[in-house]
Each structure stands twice: as C-alpha cells, then as structure tokens.
Amino acid sequence: MDRELLKGHLPVLILGVLREKPLHGYAICREIQSRGASELKLKEGTLYPLLYRLERRGHIKSFWETAPSGKQRKAYKITKSGIKMIESHKTEWKILTSLFSTFLGEGWVKQ
Amino acid sequence: MDRELLKGHLPVLILGVLREKPLHGYAICREIQSRGASELKLKEGTLYPLLYRLERRGHIKSFWETAPSGKQRKAYKITKSGIKMIESHKTEWKILTSLFSTFLGEGWVKQ
DNA sequence: TTAACATATATTGTGTAACATAATATGATG
DNA sequence: CATCATATTATGTTACACAATATATGTTAA
C-alpha cells in the first residue's frame, strides 16, 4: 500500500488497536504486523515517534509495566481524547469519501 | 478537512476533474473550489506543483490553448496512464478501507 | 561453562515527498 | 489605476520510511 495514502490515517489505526487493550510499543508493532498483513508493515523507527506524538497530544498515556522477564517496559493506554479522535476521524473519513464521490462518481465508494 | 488526510489522494481528485474534460490550471482551481465546497480549498501554489508532478509522471499532458482574450495558456489533458492511476487508486482505497475495518470494526465504513 | 547469537524492546538520526502559505510576475480589462 | 486571470517560485512543516544503535535477556553451540 502506497505510504503516502496512510499519512494521517496511521495514528488512528494505532488508536484502534489500543482501544481494545493497552499494549507496549513492540507489541503494537507485532499486532499491526500480524493483522495488517502485507498491506501494512510498520518498523519500530516509524512506530515509536508516532507514539510519542500521540502521547504529546494527549491521545494516549504511557505507563510502566513489568514484563514476565521482570524487565520494565513502557506501555500505552488510550485516553478519552484518543477515543474522541477516533470518532472525529470517522467524520473526516466521510468527508473524504464524499469528495471521491463528487470527483469520481458514485461508483467509487460503493462496491 | 485535515490536510494530512489528503496526502496521496489529492492528485486523484484532480485526475477525476480532468477525466471529464481538459482544463487549464486556474480553471481546475476554481472547479475544485466550487465542487469541493468548504471541505477542500486549493491554492494555486499547491495546485501547480501538483500538476507538474502529474505531468512529469505521465498522468497528464499539457498543451497550449488560446483563451478568449487571445492569451495563451497551458491546459492539461488526462493520459491513459492517468486513467489507469485512477483505477489503481481505487484498489488502494479498498485496501485502506479494509484496514479500517480490521482495526476499527465493521461499523467504520458502513453507514 | 563460556562465548556467540538471537530476540525483545526502545531510541535516535537522516532523508523524502506532499502539501500549505505567501510572495511575485504579467497581461487583460474595466 | 485597480482588479482579475493566470502562472511561477521559494520557503516551511510534517509524516512517515529506513537504518543504525543500544541494552537486556534468553538460547544455542563450542
């Protein structure tokens, strides 16, 4: 999948994962990898900065958890603002969809 | 509409306009403006470089036409490659849609 | 057992490309 | 002259890709 097309959408996909349960970065990476299959590969170097941005903006909150190995690792939990962001992204998505309908015809979205 | 979300999609919207009929840059601008309503404002400084890119990649072809005023102006026509690009973008769109379904649930796209 | 290696986890730096914004230029027109 | 139609160019912001690095732990092979 063309990387440009993900711009702006990617964070919401992450939020979608975190909405189910809190996860630490590396686990998010694997989760995305396994679900997104070949369509969506996400290297750590892409994910982590993205997580920092999301936290800086208040959409997720990090906390420390103890791995089975005893090692500390940083995990992330979605916030109310994050949930709200998912919702408002849905609105944006509809706008985008309607733009495509307008410029490329009904057939674009349906079927 | 959040500008990030348009990345990669914008050129296809332009191609959608040009698929109907050839237009010169400024006219494309007005066309987009009038159809895209408030959701999509497009300054010349954004449009023209975009047109150059599209031409460089062979998706549109420019030619000179004479305005009613007698002035020469550059107009653009979509190419076969451009049409093909619209089609393949539709595929990408479906992938994106399915990613959202996967990560945010069925309800994302429908309704 | 120790050395080598792999895996889990996180960080950081650098590059690319799209799009935004704004400034500028020119001819036409009222 | 002011405004409109039309095009160009320069500069900035930001996301995301990619690659390199760091460290702790767990596993395998000599």
A19 backbone dihedrals φ, ψ, rounded to 5°: -65, -30
Residue A13: list chain B partners with CB under 8 A.
Answer: 99-100, 103-104
* pLDDT tens digits along B17-50: 999 999 999 999 999 988 877 889 899 999 999 9
Q: How far apart are CA B80 and CA A53, in angstroms?
A: 41
* Model confidence pLDDT, tens digit, residues A78-93: 999 999 999 999 999 9
Q: Is A24 helix (H, G, I), strand (E, B) or coil?
A: strand
Predicted local distance difference test score (pLDDT) of residue B70: 86
Q: Which residue has the higher pLDDT, B111 or A1?
A: A1
Contacts of B39 in chain A (CB under 8 A): 95, 98-99
**Given this model, what pLDDT does residue A111 score?**
60
Flag the least confident range among A3-12, A68-77, A95-104: A68-77
Flag whether residue A104 sits within 8 Å of chain B, measured between CB atoms: yes
- Measured at the CA of A68, the angle between CA A66 and CA A61, to 5 degrees, comes to 30
Q: What is the pTM of this model?
A: 0.90
pLDDT interval class at B54 (50, 70, 90): very high
* Amino acid found at B32: I
Question: What is the pLDDT at residue A97?
Answer: 93
Query: Which pLDDT band holds residue A106 (cuts at 50, 70, 90)?
Result: confident
Residue-level pLDDT at B16: 96
Nearest to B13 among A6, A93, A103 (CB): A103
Distance from CA of B61 to the nearest CA of A (A): 19
Mean pLDDT of all residues belonging to chain A: 93
Q: Over range A40-59, report the average pLDDT.
A: 95
Closest in A2, A8, A36 to B5, CB measured: A8
Tell me what the mean pLDDT of segment B56-79 comes to.
Answer: 93
Distance from CA of B41 to the nearest CA of A (A): 12
Q: Which residues of A touch B4 (CB under 8 A)?
A: 7-8
In what helix (H) or strand (E) does residue A46 lie, and over which residues does it extend? helix A44-56
Choose the closest CB to A9 out of B12, B17, B96. B96
